Every structure is written in C-alpha cells, then in structure tokens.
Amino acid sequence: MIREIKFIIIAVVLLGVYSCGSTPKTVQAYAVEVQGHRGDRGNFPENTVPAFLSAVKKGAVVIEMDVVISKDQKVVVSHENFMSSQYMSDSEGHAIRKDKEKSYNLYEMTYDSIKRFDSGSRGNAAFPTQQKIKTYKPLLSEVIKSVEEYIAANKLEPVRYNIEIKSEKADYGVRQPQPAVFCAMVMKVIKDKGVEDKINIQSFDPEVLNVLHKMYPKTKIAFLVGEGTMIKNLSLLDFTPEIYSPSYKLLNEAEVDSLRSLKIRIIPWTVNEDAAIDHMLHLKVDGIITDYPEKVLLKL
C-alpha cells in the first residue's frame, strides 16, 4: 500500500435515495483520503505541532495547514496573518481583543515575537472538545521536521502535506509578500526539507496558483473555493488543477460528474457533521478535509 498517496479504506456508500423503511440498494467499496484540517482542530489547538501529531496518530494520511510570512521572511503556520481574538493570547496570558486583533500584523512581526503568543491555553469556543494546551504558531519547517521524526520513531507509514498559501489581493505587500515571492519562500522550505513528492499547495487566491504553476509546473495544486460554480471558478485559472477543493455545501452529483470528466480530484472542506460526511461518501469524493479525522475514519 502506498500510504503517502492514498489510505485505502472501505467506505459504505448508499446508492439511491432512502425512503421510510427502505434499505440500501447496494454497497460499494472505494478509496478516500482523510485529511486532518489544521491538524486535528476539533481536539487540539489548530495549526500547532500537537494537533498535527494527533492527526497522524489517529490515521489521517494528509495533514492540512495554512502558512503566512513573518517580517524576517519565515514561513509561519497560521490561518490568519494576524492574532485571532477567537483563541490567541499575548505573552502575558491576556486574550487578544477583537478590536485589536488585526493590529498584530504577522508580516510586520519577527518570528521570535510571534512565537511568544499562546495559541492554545484559552481553547476555542467553537470546538468544545479541544484540549487547552499552551503552545504556539510553529514554522513550516518545524512542522515537517516534527511529523517526519514522529513517523520514523513510531515506524508509521508516510503522510502527505496539504499546504494552503493564505493570500488575498488586498493584502499584497501589506500583510504578505507578492505572489511570486510568497510561492518561492514556501517552496524553498519544502525543498530544503526534502518533501517535494509529499505535498500539494492550495489557495483561494487564483493569482497565487497561476504564479505557482508557472514557476513550479510539477507541483500538485488544489484550488480552494467557497462560492460560485465549478465552470466559473476554473475559468479563473490559467491551467487545470489536479485537485478541486470546494466547500462541501457546493457539491452535487452533476458537479462531481463534471469534475470526473476533467480528471480532477475532488476534496471538499470542512466536513464535520455526520450527515455531511455521509453525503460526501455517497458522492464518492476523493478526499475529505475534516476537523475530526476520527469521525470520518470511524465511518469507513
């Protein structure tokens, strides 16, 4: 089995429509990829080393994360390019205020100052089962090193890395580098850590993906989308991506069929509820990005 490509699991897929008292028409087995969203966000502080190691331990075959850039040009694992009031605390343990959060511009902060902020002691009200652990925003290089060492020490199968470049056009040069510079910084870390064959890059920003594809044409790319139709979204790219990653709410059978005809893999986000997981399995998506890897794995 080639774990770094796909974790083969048996999924019970119900074909046809249920009615009261009906039974499944057929049962089919297929392969699906379980991705730990921001590691294991449902249970550990998001985008932290403990969360990533937990996802690996549970059996996720891909760990999904976000990256931004610091003032001293470090690739930092963080969903926001500021200190979120939802879960961050300052170095003295004070919760970040909502009206002040964006004043902490990570692109204007050196990494040693970023690292002093606490990512996990407060927990996250949106995830009541999340453990409260004092931790920090790690570097991408540290995440890869920690995961690779954990896998080697425990003799586990390799995992893949789904790395999201957090980018918005309005932030170019203000809260992030220009796309070409951003892409080069991320790819340098990946190359330095020797994991080029274990990654894909994703983003909501089509400009970043167009630049990335031009600069690194062999890199696997996933296009993240949160609205609009598949046709409209794909028209924003200068190429056909290997992966299309929509909000799961956008997916239906017709769109899945269209993506299949284009030979594009389908990996929706962020699928947490039982009914949503069941529906994605019914559609036979290629992967599921989830805050609760164990919930998906238990269904399969």
Identify the residue with better confidence: 18 or 272.
Answer: 272
Determine the pLDDT at residue 150. Answer: 98
pLDDT of residue 159 exceeding 50, the answer is: yes
The whole domain housing 178 covers 34-295
Determine the pLDDT at residue 31. Answer: 84
- Dihedral sign (CA 236, 252, 257, 38): positive
Assigned domain for 21 exists: no
Pairing of strands 221-225, 243-246: parallel
Each residue's pLDDT tens digit, 55-93: 999 999 999 999 999 999 999 999 999 999 999 999 999
Assigned domain for 13 exists: no
Determine the pLDDT at residue 15. Answer: 32
Phi, psi angles (nearest 5°) of residue 51:
-70, -40
Assigned domain for 29 exists: no
Tell me how far the alpha carbon of residue 157 is from its chain's centroid. 20
Q: How far apart are CA 60 and CA 231, in angstroms?
A: 30
Each residue's pLDDT tens digit, 237-250: 999 999 999 999 99
Assigned domain for 6 exists: no
Query: What's the mean per-residue pLDDT of the chain?
Result: 92
Q: How far apart are CA 295 and CA 19, in angstroms?
A: 25
Assigned domain for 180 exists: yes
Phi, psi angles (nearest 5°) of residue 230:
-60, -45
* Predicted structure pTM score: 0.91
Determine the pLDDT at residue 211. Answer: 98
Q: How far apart are CA 137 and CA 192, in angstroms?
A: 20
Q: How far apart are CA 115 and CA 66, in angstroms?
A: 16
- Give percent above pLDDT 70 in the chain: 90
- For residue 55, give every residue at least 6 positions away whose Cβ sits within 8 Å of its Cβ, in sequence order, or none: 36, 39, 40, 63, 293
Q: What is the mean pLDDT of residues 128-144?
A: 98
279, amino acid identity? H
Each residue's pLDDT tens digit, 252-263: 999 999 999 999
Q: Which band of pLDDT confidence, cut at 50, 70 and 90, is reported for residue 195?
A: very high
- Give CA torsion, residues 19, 21, 25, 31, to 10 deg: 80
Each residue's pLDDT tens digit, 18-29: 333 333 333 345
Residue 182 tokens, joined: 């951003």
Assigned domain for 27 exists: no
Q: For the chain, state the CA radius of gyration.
A: 19
pLDDT of residue 47 exceeding 80, the answer is: yes
CATH number at 211 reads 3.20.20.190
Q: What is the mean pLDDT of residues 132-159?
A: 98
> Per the structure, how many domains does the chain have?
1
pLDDT of residue 279 exceeding 80, the answer is: yes
CA-wise closest residue to 262 among 235, 287, 227: 235
pLDDT of residue 231 exceeding 60, the answer is: yes
Assigned domain for 270 exists: yes
Q: How far apart are CA 1 and CA 8, in angstroms?
A: 8
Taking the CA of residue 155 as centre, how many other CA atoms within 13 Å lie in the half-sphere pointing to its CB?
0
Assigned domain for 17 exists: no
